[in-house]
Amino acid sequence: MTATLGEPGEGIGGRYLLIRHLNSGGYGSVYEAQDRQNNIRVAIKKSDLFSDQNDPNDQGVPVVVFREGCVLCKLTHPNVVKVHDVYIEQGHHNFVFELCACNLREYMGQLDAQGQRWMDEDKMQKLTRQILSGVKYCHDRRLIHRDLKPDNILMNAEHTIAKLADFGMIRMMRCKGGGRYTDRLVTHWYRPPEIMLGDIRYDTAVDMWSMGCIMVEMMMLCPAFACNTEIECLMVIFQRFGTPDEEDWPGITTLPNYLMEFPKWSKPQNLFAAFMVKMSLLQKSPTKETYNL
Ligand SMILES: Nc1ncnc2c1ncn2[C@@H]1O[C@H](COP(=O)(O)OP(=O)(O)OP(=O)(O)O)[C@@H](O)[C@H]1O
Ligand SMILES: [Mg+2]
């Protein structure tokens, strides 16, 4: 987003005072502001109201903004970012959120910069529990986040609390067993193989794959599948876990993007050990015994 919210110190939305720009994402810019009514600091996420300002026929609120607004206003959970207010000003849609200190990617970057080889186990467990608690809260309401990644998990300054954010891709599951949805979801590093293979019927399992990728990343402080393209990601997954076939994944050969020509990698005997070795964890850590490989 190119438009700015205003100058620092400027009044916005009738009750907020702009403090500074925090970050920008695919759908908007996020600013820190002061709520003059409650005297608390908030985060304001500003998105263009129209998908394409140059298109005179485009008069709709972008679907991601609409979705995020409809869903977030209804969710109340300690591990889901709280929305305080929503307002429209000068052709822009603004969400007012509780202010968080950083996102999980930034926190992991700090640990890496400090020379840490992986996240402290206790810390990782506590954060994982919290993130899963937020995910469960959504899934219990048949909501699939569909964009779980470290950038969309916000944290407090002490890095003791994690909250799910960025609900622009969220969808409600229509029926048990999953519905048919768009495959344009989840940054490809965190995208499950069934989506890359073109399966458009899916359910909450999409979030669970992303969650697994995030856990590996917390453990190793580097992404599990940092590939340039979707097909590269799929091949790396097959290489690490073995190329799936009809026996262990009935129906896989009928999926739109499945190719009979895919290389056939054999399945490792001990999945966890093989995964860790291939992720170069042994080279990263001097305490490999911990993992009993
Ligand atoms: N409530 C908040 N408090 C502090 N920082 C926030 C808050 N909400 C968002 N941010 C920051 O802004 C970034 C982008 O926010 P968000 O993911 O909601 O936007 P987006 O445009 O939908 O992003 P994406 O690129 O994932 O589509 C976050 O990664 C985070 O660093
Ligand atoms: Mg985001």
C-alpha 216/C-alpha 279 separation (Å) is 9
Rounded Cα gap, residues 47 and 44, in angstroms: 10
pTM score, two decimals? 0.86
CATH number at residue 61: 3.30.200.20
Residue 30 CA: which ligand 1 atom is closest?
12
Predicted local confidence at residue 115, as pLDDT: 95
Give the pLDDT of residue 1. 44
Blockwise average pLDDT, block size 10, the chain, 293 residues: 64 90 84 95 86 56 72 90 90 91 97 94 96 96 92 97 90 60 69 91 87 94 92 93 92 95 88 64 44 34
Tens of pLDDT, residue by residue over 222-274, are 999 999 999 999 999 999 889 999 998 999 999 999 999 999 999 887 766 66
> The domain spanning residue 251 has which CATH number?
1.10.510.10
Query: C-alpha dihedral over 136, 137, 143, 146, to 10 degrees?
Result: -60
Active-site residue (options: 35, 48, 147, 166): 147
Out of 40, 72, 98, pick the residue that ends a domain: 98
Enter the DSSP assignment of 145: -
Q: Which amino acid is at 218?
A: M
Tell me how many domains the chain contains: 2
Active site residue 147: yes
- Cα 287 from Cα 281, distance rounded (Å): 10
With the most atoms of ligand 1 within 8 angstroms of its CB, the residue from 2, 19, 22, 96 to mutate is: 22
Same domain, 160 and 203: yes
Which residues contact residue 184 at a Cβ distance below 8 angstroms, ignoring those fewer than 6 apart?
A: none
- Domain assignment of residue 127, yes or no: yes
Q: Which of 219, 64, 208 is nearest to 136 (CA)?
A: 208
Give the position, in ligand 1's atom list, of the atom nearest the Cα of 28. Answer: 21
Q: Which residue type occupies 261?
A: E
CA distance 154 to 135: 14
Ligand 1 atom closest to residue 151's alpha carbon, by position in its atom list: 29
Task: Identify the pLDDT of residue 71.
Answer: 78
Neighbours of 73 (CB within 10 A): 12
- pLDDT value of position 76: 94
Which amino acid type is present at position 35?
D
Distance CA 103, CA 218 (A): 13
| Ligand 1 pocket mutation, candidates 64, 94, 103, criterion most atoms within 8 A of CB | 103
